[in-house]
Structure 1
Amino acid sequence: MRIDIITVLPELLKSPFEASIMKRAVDKGIVSVHFHNLREYTSNNYKQVDDYQFGGGAGMVLMIEPIDKCISKLRAERHYDEIIYMTPDGETLNQSMANGLSLKKNIIVLCGHYKGVDQRVRDLFITKEVSIGDYVLSGGELGAAVLCDAIVRLIPGVLNNETSALTDSFQDGLLAPPVYTRPATYKGMEVPKILLGGNFPKIEAWREQKAYERTREIRPDLLPEK
């Protein structure tokens, strides 16, 4: 997979790709990530990428021209499956969306900033608008990092144990069950005996039941309405 990220703050975004799972994916050649500083696509001497809103109002808006130049250059070089805009009013990121995006070959992620982007950018170029929650950040960079992490970890070969991602919360519509490791007893608290007996069918049944109970208690909204 190739990910091209368009941003006014590339330095804010680079560190997540220099550590942990995403670095492993890049080092293995499974994913390539390219950062594009929007200021390099301006036509003015001040590298200005934003301007005041028509009609007045607080907050600056990212201009269409540098975004157009950047996206047009990238699209001239290859086909993109999705051009994603990170915005608080987009579709909320969930596991199903991450699963689908992990199957794509080339994607562009545009990071919003200030008051957002000129609406014509959204009308002309954007194929998917994504939010990581009902709150506002200073820019789309942190949201883009979250999106990329959610996608990249699902690509075959990235995780050491590929079945791990398949048992994460939300993959089957439920939260993950509780997990334990050594020691079996700690300060009087014991690991459930069923996990120590080696009867894997019973263990799986226990995990499914606990996942359901945990979901019902914490996120009942995920369960089908009766």
Structure 2
Amino acid sequence: MTFTAQILTLYPEMFPGPLGTSLAGRALSEGKWICDPINPRDFTTDKHRSVDDTPAGGGAGMVLRADIMAAAVDQAIENHPKVPILAMTPRGKPLTQARVREIAAGPGVTIICGRFEGFDERLFDARPIEEVSIGDYVLSGGEMGALVLLDACIRLLPGVMGASSSGDDESFENVILEYPQYTRPQIWEGRIIPEVLRSGDHAKIAAWRKQRAEEDTRLRRPDLWERHRDSPDQSPSGAQEKDKDKE
């Protein structure tokens, strides 16, 4: 099965863009995924190929028309009816690694890239579209968000990263942040790689990495730490901490 990415965008020349290089680019050349941009302007009927209009009720900017965008979405559904449809918008639900894994495990994804002041809300009422955000900030359009989403998915496709376990310990895979990494030289500007990582004792190394991951998550991302503590799949150390709380 080849992972197919349909991207509805007013700027199809932006794809594959950076996804044409490195791991994603090699995977694309090897046929592990397909990049298929769709331009909503191809579904317009006026000579200016207009896809937007002024906001109802007044206000600055322009709004993407529901009729034009829906026609493009319908074509995408006809092409690949079994893939999820996501719209990149700051009004969407935050993208998570868990959702990325779900998408990467399927046959592909259709991504709608917003522009201007966004979409006519009726588009989401009329079509099965999942609104997604990559962060609490505003970009010029959804294309950069689509590239982020696709990169996150493509690296998880079979054979793209090499070893199947390559991403298992990364940040967000187990809710918490990843532990710090080090490599040669052993001493750099007077700073030394932690002794435990040079000990060759795999059990001690694993315990140190787990401890640092938890400490860094508590300090840097307390929101993630709360989710980790509340998770039913609590880690052994987390379980011990709860037991201590009861004493």
Using structure 2 for the length normalisation, give the TM-score: 0.86
Q: Which of residues 31, 34, 44 in structure 2 aligns to 1:32?
A: 34
Does the Cα contact within 8 Å between 1:85 and 1:126 map onto a contact in 2? no
Alignment of 1:204-215 (within 5 A): 204-215=206-217
Measure, in 1, the Cα distance between the counterparts of 2:71 and 2:130. 19
Which residue does the alignment assign to 1:121? 123
Shift of 1:160: 2.2
Shift of 1:214: 1.1
Does residue 99 in structure 1 map to residue 101 in structure 2?
A: yes
Which residue does the alignment assign to 1:223? 225
Which residue does the alignment assign to 2:86? 84
Size of the aligned set, in residue pairs, is 226
Measure, in 1, the Cα distance between the counterparts of 2:16 and 2:93. 25
SS of the residue aligned with 2:167?
A: helix
Measure, in 2, the Cα distance between the counterparts of 1:80 and 1:53. 33
Please tell me the root mean square deviation across aligned C-alpha atoms, in Å: 1.6
Which residue does the alignment assign to 1:22? 24
Mark the runs of 5 or more structure 1 residues left unpaired by the alignment: none
Greater relative CO (CA pairs within 8 A, separation 6+): 1
Identity among equivalent positions (%) equals 39
Does the Cα contact within 8 Å between 2:16 and 2:35 map onto a contact in 1? no
SS of the residue aligned with 2:166?
A: helix
- Amino acid of the residue matched to residue 126 of structure 2? L
SS of the residue aligned with 2:178?
A: coil
Which residue does the alignment assign to 1:200? 202
Shift of 1:11: 2.1
- Amino acid of the residue matched to residue 44 of structure 1? D
Shift of 1:50: 0.8
Measure, in 2, the Cα distance between the counterparts of 1:122 and 1:106. 20
Does the Cα contact within 8 Å between 1:21 and 1:158 map onto a contact in 2? yes
- Amino acid of the residue matched to residue 222 of structure 1? L
Does the Cα contact within 8 Å between 1:102 and 1:155 map onto a contact in 2? yes
Measure, in 1, the Cα distance between the counterparts of 2:121 and 2:224. 34
Deviation digits for residues 8-38 of structure 1 (CA, Å, limit 9, x no counterpart):
1122343122112221221221111111112
Shift of 1:130: 0.3
Shift of 1:55: 2.3
Does the Cα contact within 8 Å between 2:15 and 2:35 map onto a contact in 1? no
- Amino acid of the residue matched to residue 212 of structure 1? E
Q: Which of residues 176, 180, 186 in structure 1 aligns to 2:188?
A: 186
Mark the runs of 5 or more structure 2 residues left unpaired by the alignment: 230-241, 243-247
Deviation digits for residues 42-89 of structure 1 (CA, Å, limit 9, x no counterpart):
111111111112222221111123222222222223323311011101
